[in-house]
Amino acid sequence: DGGITQSPKYLFRKEGQNVTLSCEQNLNHDAMYWYRQDPGQGLRLIYYSQIVNDFQKGDIAEGYSVSREKKESFPLTVTSAQKNPTAFYLCASSLRPSYGYTFGSGTRLTVV
């Protein structure tokens, strides 16, 4: 079955460490996105990519980095510059503009 897979489900980061969250889709979708979800807030866009080897900053890109070397993969790195990284991170993909997203199951990142 086609879908979008995020891993790991839970991730713990020490202060000063970089961590990478994985997102893979086999839906042949062109666009992929990373969102952050915090209690009581709507999803906030971190980065998005419309095609391979191209990506754009979203509303809260500081402290994050991404790459899009393959259509299927859009990993997110949470760097030590992100001062409040504890959150639920959601990856999504869409076939084309004005189509709804397919979301992954999320990664819960906690700073310890």
Among 1, 14, 84, 98, binds other proteins (CB under 8 A): 98
Q: How far is CA 82 from the centre of its chain?
A: 14
Q: Between 66 and 90, name the residue whose CB sits nearer to other proteins.
A: 90
Does residue number 22 form part of the binding site for other proteins (CB under 8 A)?
no
Q: Between 16 and 97, name the residue whose CB sits nearer to other proteins.
A: 97
Does residue number 25 form part of the binding site for other proteins (CB under 8 A)?
no
Applying the rule CB under 8 A, the residues between 32 and 61 that interact with other proteins are: 33, 35, 37-43, 45, 48, 50, 58
Pair 14, 110: CB distance under 8 Å: no
d(Cα 46, Cα 48) in Å, to the nearest integer? Answer: 7
d(Cα 100, Cα 22) in Å, to the nearest integer? Answer: 21
d(Cα 43, Cα 19) in Å, to the nearest integer? Answer: 21
Applying the rule CB under 8 A, the residues between 74 and 93 that interact with other proteins are: 88, 90, 92
Pair 34, 20: CB distance under 8 Å: no
Residues of this chain that interact with other proteins (CB under 8 A) are 6, 31, 33, 35, 37-43, 45, 48, 50, 58, 88, 90, 92, 94, 97-98, 100-106, 108
